[in-house]
A and B are shown apart, each in its own frame.
Chain A
Amino acid sequence: MNIIKKFSLLIIILLGVYCSKESTKNDEVITIEDLLVRNNEISGWTYGGQRWVANNISELTTYINGLAEVFQRYGFVDAANQSYEGRIDNQNRQLQLTVYRLQSGANALGVYEDPDLGLGSALPWENGAGIEAKYVRYGGLSQVLAFYRGVYYVSLQMNYDTEESLNILKQFALNVDQKIK
């Protein structure tokens, strides 16, 4: 009996430790970098350059120059950028992913709809990533895809423009969206 009590006590302690660890895990603060697509997470697409993280407008201006002023208008919190390289049509292609965190969901929508981001001619991606998503194709040269969900605005750019490259952009977008959820 004593053994059963001791065993039960041990089980309770182990459960407590497990639950404590789970609790800590759930309470971990998600950083902006956690939302980036990891190296080769999309098969064949690996990190292609140094990551940058901006924690204020000054730092963001350092990385994206005057475009930072759009985000300043909408309560910029932080942003992370990672470039990736993969092959399409037997050539290396580059993809840029930038995740921005704003102060509110309304601000994220504000950025998404701001004309200064130059997505006025974008086509909607129905039932795609985020609350809303859209993309622009620049005649064989490049593509831009953007979406927002919650306090996040996400921008993806590809220096190529085919159906296949657009599908890659969409895979990246869905991956980030899943992490935001």
Chain B
Amino acid sequence: MSFSNILSKIDRRTFLRIISFTGATGLIYPDHLFSHLVNSQNSRVVIVTDDSVTNGLTINESAVQAMLDASIKALTQINDLGEAWKSIFPDIDLNKTIVIKVNCINSSMSTHPAVTYAVANSLQNIILDSVSFPANNVIIYDRTNGELSSAGYTINTGNTGIRCFGTNQSGVGYGSQSYSVNGISQRISTICETMANYLINISVLKNHGTSGVTLCMKNHYGTCRSPGSLHGNYGDPYIPALNALPVISGKHVLHICDAIFGIISGGPSGSPQISPNKIIMSQDIVAADYWGREILSQNGCSTINRATHVDTAANSPYNLGTNKTSEMEVINIENPSTSIGDQNDPLKVPDQFMLQQNFPNPFNSSTQIKFYLTQYAHTRVEIFDSHGHSIKTLLNKEIPNGWHQIQWQGFNSTGTPVASGIYICRLSAGSHHKSIIMQLMK
């Protein structure tokens, strides 16, 4: 079965997933690998990559914001930012509190404040009764104030602004109730236990000498009082058991892995060793950790085999999510921060093949698609509809290196205007392939 034949038979979710895989790897997978993708179920994972988010160890905050905005829209399939965020909090109202768990135990490689504050600030786009969700109803927390401060967070226990403090903050602490985590007693931070209505988990991409990886499921230092006691047998099944406690799982609404940088060996201590320039977002904690583990594995992490807790979490009695790619819908987004303004800067010459996000997007009558080739190449720019059907080929010829721009006016190959909706633009140039998602709104 050819690639185009498969595209014509699959649903939109699966199509997006294939696009994501090919976009991520730059490869067209052999036909036989597509067969298992057809039965897509429901655990959606967004993996957003932005080449401009790092420069050395410096993080571009506007790129982070663009990555998160694109992620939440893709995850929820809602284009309005406030509505997209609102949709992940069931029954939210102005009296509810959203807590964000970060990982600051290693100040050299913590959940970056740029990511956390971008999320926290975005929550204020949620409009309830014509009022923005109050910043003071958002709490960023970890184990101690000192660790938060060392990682670059500003402690705030006041009545205005985003709050941020550790479980060791005076008057906070761990609750008195004892919870059994596979037979080991744990007490839970009152931030999670009593203050939180919703919990957003923002982990960081690190390997771990004992449990193989430190991702979302293992981001609960400061949520539980004695995490060291849960490290037996590589943390399996203690890590899944902790996350399965209703006091935690009942509040988890979103899992984000800050994979802008990563540690692949000697973790969880140490400085950044790789820069994948990625953020992973999912409401399925197992699926999120599955892809975090994959990224570590692809970068040569040597402790992956110990991370069996990710698989255990998918199975009974925990059932925290799925570790099967056949049950995931993976949406890959590339370079959402790139703007037309940057492209027109004559001093900015990319050092690699690049497909910019179309502009404007969403668009009404026409949109510009701009891309950069590093060398002379046979280049094909093709538009697919949400069912995976090829509806228009905008370009199919050899062209020289440099910037190129194509306009699409919303017509298919027969010259008929297409309906409002999601369309995918796929660029192939030599061995490079990239895709972007475009939205036509009439």
A61 at the B interface (CB under 8 A):
yes
Majority SS at the chain A contact face: mixed
Q: Is the CB of A158 within 8 A of B271?
A: yes
How far, in Å, is A66 (CB) from chain B's closest CB? 4
Interface residues of A in 47-76 (CB under 8 A from B): 49-50, 58, 61, 64-70
How far, in Å, is A117 (CB) from chain B's closest CB? 5
Of A58, A66, A83, which is within 8 A of B268 by CB? A66
Which residues does chain B contribute within 8 Å of A68, judged by CB atoms?
A: 228
Of B108, B231, B271, B273, which is within 8 A of A66 by CB? B231
Q: Is the CB of A49 within 8 A of B107?
A: yes
Fill in one digit per residue for A68-97: 1 if any B CB lies within 8 Å of its CB, else 0. 111000000000000100000000001010
Of B108, B209, B272, which is within 8 A of A67 by CB? B209
Q: Is the CB of B268 within 8 A of A138?
A: no
In the complex, the chain B residue whose C-beta lies closest to that of A115 is: B302
Of A61, A70, A142, which is within 8 A of B270 by CB? A142
Which residues does chain A contribute within 8 Å of B209, judged by CB atoms?
A: 66-67, 69-70, 116-118
B150 at the A interface (CB under 8 A):
yes
Interface residues of B in 382-434 (CB under 8 A from A): none
Which residues does chain A contribute within 8 Å of B269, judged by CB atoms?
A: 64-65, 67
Which of the candidate stretches B88-96, B244-252, B258-266, B308-316 sits at the interface with the other chain? B258-266
Q: Is the CB of B271 within 8 A of A141?
A: yes
How far, in Å, is B152 (CB) from chain A's closest CB? 12
Which residues does chain A contribute within 8 Å of B56, judged by CB atoms?
A: 140-141, 160
Which residues does chain B contribute within 8 Å of A115, judged by CB atoms?
A: 302
Majority SS at the chain B contact face: loop
Roughly how many angstroms separate A89 CA and B270 CA in the complex, as a whole number? Answer: 22
How far, in Å, is A167 (CB) from chain B's closest CB? 17
Q: Is the CB of A58 within 8 A of B228?
A: yes
A160-B57 in contact given A70-B209, A138-B273, A144-B270 (Cβ < 8 Å): yes
A144-B261 in contact given A50-B146, A116-B209, A118-B207 (Cβ < 8 Å): no
Number of A-B pairs whose CB atoms are under 8 Å?
A: 93
In the complex, the chain B residue whose C-beta lies closest to that of A58 is: B228
How far, in Å, is A161 (CB) from chain B's closest CB? 9
- Central interface residue in B146, B207, B266, by most chain A CB within 10 Å: B266
Roughly how many angstroms separate A65 CA and B274 CA in the complex, as a whole number? Answer: 20
Interface residues of A in 23-57 (CB under 8 A from B): 49-50
In the complex, the chain A residue whose C-beta lies closest to that of B273 is: A138
A171 at the B interface (CB under 8 A):
no
- Central interface residue in A50, A83, A159, by most chain B CB within 10 Å: A159
Roughly how many angstroms separate A66 CA and B269 CA in the complex, as a whole number? Answer: 9
Fill in one digit per residue for B293-315: 1 if any A CB lies within 8 Å of its CB, else 0. 00000000011000000000000
A107 at the B interface (CB under 8 A):
no
How far, in Å, is B34 (CB) from chain A's closest CB? 34
Q: Is the CB of B271 within 8 A of A157?
A: yes
In the complex, the chain B residue whose C-beta lies closest to that of A64 is: B269
Of B105, B268, B274, B302, which is within 8 A of A141 by CB? B274
Which residues does chain B contribute within 8 Å of A144, judged by CB atoms?
A: 266, 270-271
In the complex, the chain A residue whose C-beta lies closest to that of B231 is: A66
Which residues does chain B contribute within 8 Å of A16, judged by CB atoms?
A: none
Of B231, B264, B272, which is within 8 A of A69 by CB? B231
Interface residues of A in 133-171 (CB under 8 A from B): 136, 138-144, 157-160
B291 at the A interface (CB under 8 A):
no
A69-B210 in contact given A61-B228, A120-B302, A138-B274 (Cβ < 8 Å): yes
Roughly how many angstroms separate A67 CA and B270 CA in the complex, as a whole number? Answer: 10
A119 at the B interface (CB under 8 A):
yes
How far, in Å, is B208 (CB) from chain A's closest CB? 5
A159-B108 in contact given A65-B269, A118-B302, A142-B273 (Cβ < 8 Å): yes
Roughly how many angstroms separate A118 CA and B270 CA in the complex, as a whole number? Answer: 10
A-B contact pairs, 27 of them (CB 8 A): A50-B146, A50-B150, A65-B106, A65-B214, A66-B208, A66-B210, A66-B211, A66-B268, A67-B269, A69-B231, A83-B107, A115-B302, A117-B209, A117-B266, A118-B270, A118-B302, A119-B265, A119-B266, A138-B274, A140-B56, A141-B272, A141-B273, A142-B57, A144-B271, A159-B108, A159-B271, A159-B272
Known: A119-B265, A119-B266, A141-B271; 7 extra A-B contacts, CB below 8 A, are A64-B106, A66-B268, A94-B108, A94-B271, A118-B266, A118-B270, A144-B270
The list of the 9 closest CB pairs from A to B, nearest first, reads A118-B265, A118-B266, A142-B271, A138-B273, A116-B209, A66-B210, A159-B271, A61-B228, A65-B268
